[in-house]
Amino acid sequence: MRPGQQIPIQHEQEARPLKRRHSASYYVHRARDSLTTRVSKIICGIFLTLLFIGGVAAFIAWLSLRPHRPRIHIRDFSIPGLDQPTGFDNAEIIFNITARNSNQAIGYYYDSVEALVYYRSQVIGSAPLVDSFYQEPKNTTILYKVLSGATLNMTSDLWTEFTKDRAVGTVVFRVDITGLVRFKVSTWDSKRHRMHTNCDVGVSPDGSILASYKNKRCPVYFT
């Protein structure tokens, strides 16, 4: 450097202003979208929570109110005089059936309940059991009937078939119960459903029910 020569002073470069990548309206719109998304998520969360709670409540109500089918049992069944060679002249069939409503809060309306007795797929007796009745929850109804005379289709040939089975040790019959049933929940009544139940029952040579068939539960189904 020469004597007397001034050293040039370098001035700092002036800071350039930062350029915005997006406009202010963009950020306002973005904040609005973010707020809308969060509100939507909150609403969806509340809706799903209410839906879950409602589903649980409905499931619990269904568990407590779901209708159980009537429980039908053969308590007694007999044909007095089965050990008589010509007993068909004064033949009769006596049976005792119970219908149990095991529901907690559902009642049954029974309409036109009828009983039929079969032997080897042939109807040998039929009669109405009751016209109609209402059965409270947790209640048992006894259905008792004696079939005789005009309610029986008994012949000497049929009695002969009985005695052949009796010689083996067991005479098997089938009892069918049919009727119309409505379910009652509080003040609401369902439509009528046709109920069917059938139960095989065996009697000993003297015409009384065998121990293995006594108190037997019969299958029940609706159509």
Q: Is the pLDDT of residue 63 over 60?
A: no
Question: pLDDT (tens digit, 9 = 90+) per residue, 127-140?
Answer: 999 888 999 999 99
Judgement on whether residues 45 and 127 belong to the same structural domain of the protein: no
Judgement on whether residues 91 and 147 belong to the same structural domain of the protein: yes
The pLDDT > 90 percentage for the chain reads: 44
Which of 11-15, 58-62, 184-188, 191-195 bottoms out in mean pLDDT, i.e. has the lowest? Answer: 11-15
DSSP category for residue 223: -
Task: Assign 155 a pLDDT band (cuts: 50, 70, 90).
Answer: confident
CB 149 within 8 A of CB 126: no
Please tell me whether the overall predicted TM-score, pTM, comes out greater than 0.85 for this model: no
Cβ-proximal residues to 110 (8 Å cutoff; 6+ apart), any chain: 99, 130, 132, 133, 134, 135, 179, 180, 181
Burial, 101: exposed, middle or buried (Cβ in 10 Å; 0-12, 13-18, 19+)? buried
The domain containing residue 202 runs over which residues? Answer: 71-222
CB 191 within 8 A of CB 184: no
Strands (E), 39-138: 71-78, 92-101, 106-119, 122-135
C-alpha to C-alpha distance for 92 and 148, rounded to whole angstroms: 4
Judgement on whether residues 99 and 58 belong to the same structural domain of the protein: no
CATH code assigned at 218: 2.60.40
Domain boundary among 10, 41, 66: 66
Judgement on whether residues 126 and 140 belong to the same structural domain of the protein: yes
Q: Is the pLDDT of residue 218 over 70?
A: yes
C-alpha to C-alpha distance for 186 and 103, rounded to whole angstroms: 13
Please compute the mean of the pLDDT values over residues 139-146 and round it to a whole number.
94
**Is 9 domain-assigned?**
no
Judgement on whether residues 31 and 105 belong to the same structural domain of the protein: no
Q: Is the pLDDT of residue 160 over 70?
A: yes
User: Is 93 or 1 the better-scoring residue by pLDDT?
Assistant: 93
C-alpha to C-alpha distance for 222 and 117, rounded to whole angstroms: 19
Angle at 77 between CA 120 and CA 107, to 5 degrees: 105
Judgement on whether residues 208 and 146 belong to the same structural domain of the protein: yes
Judgement on whether residues 208 and 104 belong to the same structural domain of the protein: yes
